[in-house]
Structure 1
Amino acid sequence: MPERRARWSIAAGVLVALLAGPAIAGPPFVSDDPEPTDTGHFEIYTFNNGTNTSSGTAGESGIDFNYGAARDLQLTATLPAGYSDMAGGGTRVGLGNIELAAKYRFLHQDDFGVDVAIFPRIFLPSGSGTIGDNHVSLLLPIWIQKDFGKQWSTFGGGGCTFNAIPAANFCQMGAVVTYQVLPKLQIGGELFHQTADSRGTPASTSVGIGWRYDVNDNYHLLGYVRRGIENADETNRYSWYASVLFTF
């Protein structure tokens, strides 16, 4: 499909340009980063997110636990409760897909010029019947980051999600640039793309803006808003993410 290949080429070109050109990392953005939680420390996010389409609104609220288990190794567990309010379907609430993951950074900026990490993530069946997926899936991504002094940073990458139903497999990629506006405030912009999956959802491309405010060393406020620029009615008229981050 020439048109789809062209879109992928454009997205890939933007990603390469961002990584070569001029730090929030990971949340609140959809794209992740290669920096693991510091060894022996915790990062705990209490979050809410959601997406509105022509069919209605769906999202999750929950807790995202991250622990620095060893040098360059982060262990992650996400416990979400999902909700949906679809046209003609009423409001539904249930347990979402529990996520288990491990991030391992195997290249460092000091030695290689960029940080590089893998972050495989497994999604367990939700069991709710109406919220989330009722089968196992696995995301296999790679993430890259380059910092430019203390103010500018860029990170991104992507990977593919493999489902128990092969026809539902899809891939995604994204790139983020962040800037330290004030000592306690960072902002950033993101370009993100996901291929179509088998549930009738077409490919999507979106742009988003995120921010992080450090109340102090232990408490942080994160926010993010995103808008689709490709097939927006079906995939993302608008979406959001809000979180209180506890670090210790």
Structure 2
Amino acid sequence: MRPDKMRRGSWAMPTMRLLAATALAIPSIAFAGPPFMTDDPEPTETGHWEIYGPLVEVEGRGDAFGGSTGVEINYGAAPDLQLTAGLPIGFEHDRAGWRWGAGDLELSAKYRFYHDEGTGLSIAAFPGLTLPTAGNGKVTALLPVWLQKDRGDWSLFGGGGYAINPGGGNRNYWTGGIAVTRQIDDRLLLGIEADRQSADTIGGRATTSLGVGGIYQLKAPFRILASGGPTFVDGGGAAGFHTFVALGLDF
């Protein structure tokens, strides 16, 4: 993303397992770029902080859904290097009511190893780990590569990678996406995206998620980020949903 545009950090959403009946139909969202599920290769500027909080991520179907709320912290540790930590509180909801618990600690590092201002092309690797504080007690990881091409007020970005997802009934999977955004004016950025994930459980099904999102710049250093859309499971069935809302702080 061009330097004059509002930036999105990276958020590694913890995998929230719903009831067995819904787990096969709901994808896990990992290491996404607020407010989009798809990430971009732009790191936080050197010596600067990006903080998203409070933030809320939710995914599910009907009254069975799960997600997290908490804080994501991004720091520009060096030129082209961003360090990220996610500190979430997880929740689930179904007909039996609400359940809350500590979310998994999320750590990742984005390194942009190619950037050409002349062509507007950037490429970055963004490996991350999720360290368990609850859930299946296993360390999970995502190993993605993200690319971006800028032209005027438009940006095209996407990519994906391989997720290591140990635990009983789980399987490793591939995930990726593509997004297009446009800077409408000095305050508003809008975009659309499509994401695809292979099955992350044994006997599970792949999913496709569509979404729209935007970033609105408030009085500096604050901004509002939001996105959402439907999620479709291979083989049919009612569509699920995903949504993200956060307050951003950049300094």
Q: TM-score scaled by structure 2?
A: 0.81
Q: 2:191 aligns with which of 183, 188, 191?
A: 188
Alignment of 1:89-100 (within 5 A): 89-100=96-107
- Per the alignment, residue 215 of structure 1 pairs with 218
C-alpha change, 1:36 and 1:118, in structure 2 (3 Å) is same
CA-CA distance at 1:30 after TM superposition: 0.6
Q: Residue 28 of structure 1 contacts residue 210 of structure 1 at CA under 8 Å; is this kept in 2?
A: yes
Correspondence 1:39 to 2:54: no
C-alpha change, 1:100 and 1:191, in structure 2 (3 Å) is same
Deviations 1:118-147 (A, max 9, x none): 0001001132xxxx4421011000000111
C-alpha change, 1:92 and 1:237, in structure 2 (3 Å) is same
Q: Distance in 2 between matches of 1:93 and 1:234?
A: 28
Alignment of 1:139-218 (within 5 A): 139-149=142-152, 151-165=153-167, 167-198=170-201, 200-218=203-221
- Per the alignment, residue 81 of structure 1 pairs with 89
Point out where structure 1 has 5 or more consecutive residues left out of the alignment.
1-22
CA-CA distance at 1:101 after TM superposition: 0.5
Deviations 1:187-226 (A, max 9, x none): 0000000000126541100110000000133100000012
Deviations 1:89-141 (A, max 9, x none): 432100111100010000002377510000001001132xxxx4421011000
One-letter amino acid of the structure 1 residue matched with residue 216 of structure 2:
Y
- Per the alignment, residue 123 of structure 2 pairs with 116
C-alpha change, 1:242 and 1:232, in structure 2 (3 Å) is farther
Point out where structure 2 has 5 or more consecutive residues left out of the alignment.
1-5, 9-32
Q: Residue 120 of structure 2 contacts residue 151 of structure 2 at CA under 8 Å; is this kept in 1?
A: no
The size of the alignment, in residue pairs, is 220
- Per the alignment, residue 248 of structure 2 pairs with 245
Q: TM-score scaled by structure 1?
A: 0.82
C-alpha change, 1:113 and 1:152, in structure 2 (3 Å) is closer
Q: Residue 171 of structure 2 contacts residue 202 of structure 2 at CA under 8 Å; is this kept in 1?
A: yes
Q: Residue 177 of structure 1 contacts residue 188 of structure 1 at CA under 8 Å; is this kept in 2?
A: yes
One-letter amino acid of the structure 1 residue matched with residue 207 of structure 2:
S
**Mean alpha-carbon deviation: is it higher for 111-120 or for 45-54?**
111-120
Q: Residue 126 of structure 1 contacts residue 133 of structure 1 at CA under 8 Å; is this kept in 2?
A: no
Alignment of 1:15-34 (within 5 A): 25=8, 26-34=33-41
RMSD of equivalent CA atoms: 2.2
Q: Distance in 2 between matches of 1:133 and 1:146?
A: 38
CA-CA distance at 1:238 after TM superposition: 1.4
**Mean alpha-carbon deviation: is it higher for 224-233 or for 50-59?**
224-233
